[in-house]
Structures are given as C-alpha cells and as structure tokens.
A and B are shown apart, each in its own frame.
Chain A
Amino acid sequence: MTLTVGAAASFQAHRTVTATATMEFEAGQPFEAEVTTLATDPWVSMYP
C-alpha cells in the first residue's frame, strides 16, 4: 500500500506602506529693546 503524507504550509506576502505627517514651528530668541531719553527739555535749551 502506498501512502503519501504531506504537510501543508502557507504564508502571506505583505506589502509595506508608509504614511507621513509633517509639522513646522518657529523657535524664538529673547530680544531686548532699549530707549534712551534726554534728561533736559530740548525746547528750553533751544529757546531760552
């Protein structure tokens, strides 16, 4: 009597997908502004 025995195998072949999200922002730098004012009234000095 002839027997045939086998083992079955199967597998899935996958496909690879990549999805992307992109984002953006600014990074600031501390900045100081300085104003110098005159100690005297210029009108007084110009028109005594």
Chain B
Amino acid sequence: MAIVTTDIQFLLSAPQAASGYTKAGVPGNSLGLYVSTTQVSQTLLNNMFSDITGAQNAANQVDYTCLFFFNNNADHSMLNPVAWIPSGLLGGQNSATFAIGVDPTVPTVLGSSAAQADVISNPTVAPSGVTTWAAPSLTFSGGLALPTIPAKYVQAVWIRRTANGTPGLNQLSVDVTFDTLA
C-alpha cells in the first residue's frame, strides 16, 4: 500500500526501556535511547515539553527532547527524508526559540534491542552525538537530511528549546518531508 501521512507516527522516547517499543513515554522525560509506545498527543499542551518555570525562563534555560519518526507503512521506505521545523507554524506568542538535530543512530526496526538513539541524563544535557542544529525554516530545504527510513523502522531527532525570559504560550511543529515510490 502507498504511504499516507497517517503511516508516519511521531513517538516519544523511553530512556528507561531495554528495547524498542516496549515502554510508555512521558512528555518532559523523552530523553532518548529507545522508542516508546506513546505517540505525541494531539492534546497539545505539554505533549512534548514541560512548561518553563519562571526561574528557568529568567535563566534562559536550554533543554532537549527526543522525538522518533516511525514509518508504519508495511511496504515502502521513506526516501530522502528531511526533518524540519516550519517557521510558518510557530506560535504567534512564542517566547522560546527552537532548533532540530538528527540523532546519529541509523534507522532501526521498531522493536530493536540495539540502542535507537543517544540518551541524556536530564533535559538540560545536550545529546553528544548531535553536531548540527537547524533553526526553523520556511520550507523543508532548510531542514536536515535523514537516512532512508525503511518500512517499520524508526529514526530519532532532537528538539532544542532555548528560553528567552518572556512568559507565554509556546507552540511549534516538527515536520518530516520525504519521497516515496508509491
């Protein structure tokens, strides 16, 4: 069957798991290692990032969260995928800034026992394997290239958030754009 957008799932990570897709993920604790069984909720508030406290905001805290792309199509690979943050979908009241980075771990099958992403000890620790960060961009051409993601495989990316001291409701989207043969 051809790939449709609903074949692509966005999953939190499970840093305490022992293999992929075996443990639930927790927003605010998506620190890498293995893909969780938890999709990013459609109820947006705190579905990936916890709130920034006043003290954290005043300190311009930088924190990180791991997100997995899962190709749930049975037949087709995601070809030439690009991960990006659409600048046109940033919230109008945003006070934090964002960047996206690609985890160096190659795509793995959903239930892999080999590590599927870097792991960090707490959200303020930068993932050591991520060396390039892309700011939000108008089109996917400003994003970061990923390896081909075969059917039923996952690939991790990291989102970096930098508080800028201003209070408010923040919203962002993460996109993956790719080619498919069908």
Contact = CB atoms under 8 A, between A and B. Distances in A.
Contact of B5 (A19, A23, A26, A30): A19
Contacts of B46: 24-25
B140 A18 contact: yes
B182 A21 contact: no
A31 interface: yes
What is the interface residue range for chain A against chain B? 10 to 19
A27 B91 contact: no
B119 to A, nearest CB: 20
A36 interface: no
- B interface SS class: mixed
What is the interface residue range for chain B against chain A? 35 or more
Contacts of B174: 20-21, 23
A24 B171 contact: yes
B74 interface: no
- A interface SS class: strand
A22 interface: yes
A21 B51 contact: no
A16 B177 contact: yes
A29 B69 CA distance: 33
Nearest to B67: A21
Contacts of A17: 3-5, 8, 78, 177-180
B79 A28 contact: no
Interface of A: 12, 14-31
Interface of B: 2-5, 8, 10, 40, 44-58, 67, 69, 78-79, 86, 89, 91, 95-96, 140, 163, 166-182
